[in-house]
Amino acid sequence: MMKNILLCVTGSIAAYKAAELANRFVKDGYNVDVIMSDSALEFITPLTFQSLTKNKVYTSMFNEYEPEQVKHISLAKKADLCLVAPATANIIGKIASGIADDMATTVIMALAHAPVFICPAMNTNMYENPIVQRNMKTLEELGYHFIEPKESRLACGDLGKGALAAVEDIVVTVESQLEGKESS
C-alpha cells in the first residue's frame, strides 16, 4: 500500500529544496500532498509541486477544495508522516504554541497518529535564539522530530548553522521512518 507524506513548505529561500524532496519521494513510490504557507508562495509556486506530485497543492484554509470534506482533517487522517521542510522560526513557534491559523498549522494540530519531522532552515542567529531553541525543545518533549540544519554559507552571506539539512539526509530519515527502520 502506498504511504502518504504530507509536505509543509514554509517561507525560506530553501523552499526550492522542498521541490527536490517532493520529486524524490514521488520517484521512490510515495504519495505526496503539499501545503504551502503564504510566505512559501513568495519563493516557489504551487504549480511546481503540482507538476511533481500530480496532486492539488493546498495554500489556504478557506478554499473549498472538495466541499464534501473538511480538508485539514482529511489531510491529517491520510498522512503517514508529516514533513515540515523548510521550517522557519515562525512555524516552529506557532506549532510549539498550539497556534493553528493557516492550513499547515491547522493540519499539524489535527494529526493524531502520524509523526512530524521538522527541518529548520534559518539564519544562524535565529536558529540559536533562546526562544527558538526553547520552542524546539518543547516540541521534542511532545514527540516531534527534528532533522538538524547543517553549517553552510547562508543566503544572507553568513557562515553558520541554519541551512536546511541535505536533501539525501532528509530522504533517508523520512523513508526509514516510513519503512519502520532506524535511520543512521
Quickly state the pLDDT bin for 183 (edges 50, 70, 90). Answer: very low
Domain boundaries of the chain, sorted by first residue: 4-178
Mean pLDDT in the chain? 91
- Identified catalytic residue from 8, 82, 119, 156: 156
Q: What is the DSSP code (8-state) at residue 179?
A: T
Closest to 90 measured CA to CA, from 37, 21, 49, 163: 37
Average pLDDT for 152-175: 86
Residue 32 grid coordinates: 505526496
Q: Are residues 84 and 117 in contact, defined by beta-carbon separation less than 8 angstroms?
A: yes
Name all contacts of 153-157 with Cβ < 8 Å and 24+ positions apart: 154/123, 154/124, 155/13, 156/123
Q: Which CATH number does the domain 4-178 belong to among 1.10.1740.10, 3.40.50.1950, 3.40.30.10, 3.30.1330.40?
A: 3.40.50.1950
What is the pTM (predicted TM-score) of this model? 0.93
Per-residue model confidence as pLDDT tens digits over 28-84:
999 999 999 999 999 999 999 999 999 999 998 776 566 666 567 889 989 999 999
- Is 156 a residue of the active site? yes
Per-residue model confidence as pLDDT tens digits over 107-141:
999 998 899 999 999 998 899 999 999 999 999 99
